[in-house]
């Protein structure tokens, strides 16, 4: 049974721009920059030195605690270990590898998942460096471990609800069996009663490809949902599929659900059954400012500027380049930043004629309240953030904001709502530390 989640919007999706080209291109960079911080948690420490020769798939960084390793995405020589620009806007310690174009790969061992223990599977997921590839970048093995014996519903998220992005769509149109095999592996580990692949109805080609493979996976059901943003957010997707609402401040496991992105499932299959670490992924390069929007198979560490060049280059009137989608992505000031494990899109946009106002004013229309999928009150959160009233911001649950941008999209006053809420959350965290 399908349910409706509260709020949401219907922006222009523009997905046909990058799905018009059925094939995809694999990008082989001359040099990769592999950041040691690509996940939520502690950064990795380098395991190699400048001058070392490395193989593709070799572990080059690892750490303890909430941490997963990073691997070389090409074979070649380590030419630098230094801080480099990162899509987050920070300078992050990174390992630079000069590609020798031999693609010499570490030996990989094929295995049968049904002959492996749960600990062996979780160990393989960790050693492959798998994180949430839908954007969250939370270590996959830790998320799976927390869900063991605690979930009755396992969900594969293929909604990809942000405009322009079609990386997951391309994955399902080309290798849907990798996703389904990954779902079967986590079903074996978590043993839920229900396993669901959820996809929005604007991805008909992907839906048809999945249906062709479903008979081989009787434990998996396909749910096609009406397109609506931000249905790809975990809490909204859970409500749409099960009717359950995740309480404020809680995680999906609190309502006995676990959600993983479809790209994460495909990576799990390759890690567990083929012994392949996470060294590449699908990336959409799209937007009105790009000459030839399309999808690429990209090695982790490839510079944004190379992908943009491969897609025909930028229009002279380009205003911004975003890592991610137009609603939740991060604008980039340096195009030398590398593709990360969670990079699903590089969006190139012209100047927005309906962009931010010079003197934004709240007219108290309440449209933001109707649009907020978390049932928050953005107009009051905005007012209290400007006043520096952290107590009221906490009382109104600003920390539950998922920064989806639905409020800003509907705001006729063009208030910088998401920007202010990010600042408010940062202020609350800092006050908590003090």
For 41-54, the DSSP string reads SSPPEE-S-TT-EE
**Percent with pLDDT over 70 in the chain:** 97
Residue 274 CB neighbours (<10 A) = 14
- Residue 67 domain boundaries: 27-105+280-350
Q: Could you read off the pLDDT of 25-75 as tens digits, one per residue?
A: 899 999 999 999 999 999 999 999 999 999 999 999 999 999 999 999 999
pLDDT digits (tens, 9 = 90+) for 12-28: 999 999 987 656 789 99
Same domain, 394 and 323: no
Q: Give yes or no for residue 192 having a pLDDT over 70.
A: yes
pLDDT (mean) for 326-346: 95
* Number of Cα atoms under 13 Å in the Cβ half of residue 145: 14
State the distance between the two ends of the chain, measured CA to CA, in whole angstroms. 47
Same domain, 187 and 213: yes
Do residue 285 and residue 380 come from a single domain?
A: no
Cβ-proximal residues to 433 (8 Å cutoff; 6+ apart), any chain: none
Q: 290: which DSSP letter?
A: B
Residue 162 in domain: yes
pLDDT tens-digit map of 395-422: 999 999 999 999 999 999 989 999 999 9
Question: Could you tell me if residue 99 is inside a domain?
Answer: yes
| pLDDT given for residue 425 in this prediction | 95
Strands 194-200 and 220-225: parallel
Instruction: Calculate mean pLDDT across residues 288-299.
Output: 95
- Average pLDDT over every residue of 182-192: 97
Whether residues 87 and 170 fall in one domain: no
Q: What CA–CA distance (Å, rounded) separates 69 from 405?
A: 32
> What was the pLDDT predicted at 328?
92
pLDDT in tens, 202-248: 999 999 999 999 999 999 999 999 999 999 999 999 999 999 999 98
CB 346 within 8 A of CB 329: no
Instruction: Tell me, yes or no, whether 133 and 232 share the same domain.
Output: yes
Assess whether pLDDT exceeds 90 at residue 1: no
Domain identity same for 239 and 375:
no
**167 and 224 share one domain:** yes
Residue after which a domain boundary falls, among 350, 377, 399: 350
SS3 at position 129: coil
Whether residue 77 is contained in a domain is answered as yes
For the record, the structure tokens of 158 come out as: 């293929």
Across all residues in the chain, what is the average pLDDT?
A: 94
Task: Record the tokens describing residue 381, joined without a space.
Answer: 């959160």
Cross-strand bridge partners of residue 346: 285, 323
* Same domain, yes or no: 47 and 191: no
* Contacts for 217 with CB less than 8 Å, ≥ 6 apart: 180, 183, 184
> Could you tell me if 123 and 254 lie in one domain?
yes
**Domains identified in the chain, total number:** 3
Evaluate whether residue 230 is within a structural domain. Answer: yes
Q: What is the mean pLDDT of residues 322-349?
A: 95
Residue with tokens 């920390």: 399
Q: Quick check: is 3 in a domain?
A: no
Supply the pLDDT for residue 69.
98
Q: Each residue of 111-132: pLDDT tens digit? A: 999 999 999 999 999 999 999 9
Distance in angstroms (rounded) separating the CA atoms of residues 409 and 371: 9
- Whether residue 355 has pLDDT greater than 60: no
pLDDT digits (tens, 9 = 90+) for 235-252: 999 999 999 999 988 999
HSE on the CB side for 82, CA within 13 Å? 8
Whether 361 is covered by a domain: the verdict is no
In a domain, 46, yes or no: yes
For residue 10, is it within any domain?
Answer: no
């Amino acid at each position: 049974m399908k349910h409706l989640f509260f709020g949401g919007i219907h922006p222009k999706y523009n997905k046909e721009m990058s799905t018009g080209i059925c094939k995809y291109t694999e990008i082989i960079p001359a040099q990769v920059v592999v950041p040691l911080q690509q996940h939520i948690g502690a950064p990795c420490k380098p395991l190699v030195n400048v001058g070392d020769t490395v193989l593709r798939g070799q572990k080059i960084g690892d750490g303890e605690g909430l941490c997963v390793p990073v691997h070389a995405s090409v074979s070649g020589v380590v030419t630098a270990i230094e801080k480099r620009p990162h899509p987050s806007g920070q300078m992050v310690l990174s390992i630079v590898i000069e590609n020798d174009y031999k693609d010499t790969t570490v030996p990989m061992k094929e295995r049968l998942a049904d002959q492996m223990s749960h600990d062996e599977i979780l160990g393989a997921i960790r050693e492959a460096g798998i994180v949430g590839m839908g954007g969250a970048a939370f270590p996959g093995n830790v998320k799976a471990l927390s869900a063991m014996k605690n979930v009755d519903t396992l969900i594969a998220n293929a909604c990809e609800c942000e405009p322009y992005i079609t990386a997951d769509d391309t994955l399902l149109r080309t290798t849907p069996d990798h996703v389904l095999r990954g779902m079967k592996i986590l079903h074996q580990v978590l043993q839920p009663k229900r396993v669901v692949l959820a996809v929005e109805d604007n991805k008909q080609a992907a839906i048809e490809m999945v249906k062709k493979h479903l008979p081989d996976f009787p434990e998996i059901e396909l749910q096609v949902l009406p397109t609506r943003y931000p249905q790809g957010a975990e809490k909204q997707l859970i409500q749409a599929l099960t009717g359950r609402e995740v309480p404020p401040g809680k995680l999906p496991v609190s309502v006995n659900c676990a959600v993983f992105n479809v790209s994460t499932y495909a990576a799990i299959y390759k890690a567990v059954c083929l012994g392949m670490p996470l060294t590449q992924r699908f990336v959409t390069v799209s937007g009105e400012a790009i000459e030839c929007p399309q999808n690429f198979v990209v090695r982790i560490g490839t510079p944004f500027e190379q992908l943009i060049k491969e897609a025909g280059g930028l229009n002279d009137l380009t205003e911004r380049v975003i890592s991610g989608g137009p609603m939740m992505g991060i604008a980039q000031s340096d195009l030398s930043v590398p593709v990360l494990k969670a990079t699903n899109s590089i969006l190139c946009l012209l100047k927005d004629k309906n962009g931010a106002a010079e003197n934004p004013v709240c007219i108290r229309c309440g449209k933001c309240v109707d649009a907020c999928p978390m049932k928050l009150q953005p107009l009051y959160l905005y007012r209290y953030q400007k006043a520096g009233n952290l107590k009221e911001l906490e009382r109104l649950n600003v920390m539950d904001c998922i920064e989806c941008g639905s409020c800003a999209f509907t705001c006729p006053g063009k208030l910088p709502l998401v920007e202010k809420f990010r600042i408010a959350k940062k202020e609350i965290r800092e006050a908590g530390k003090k």
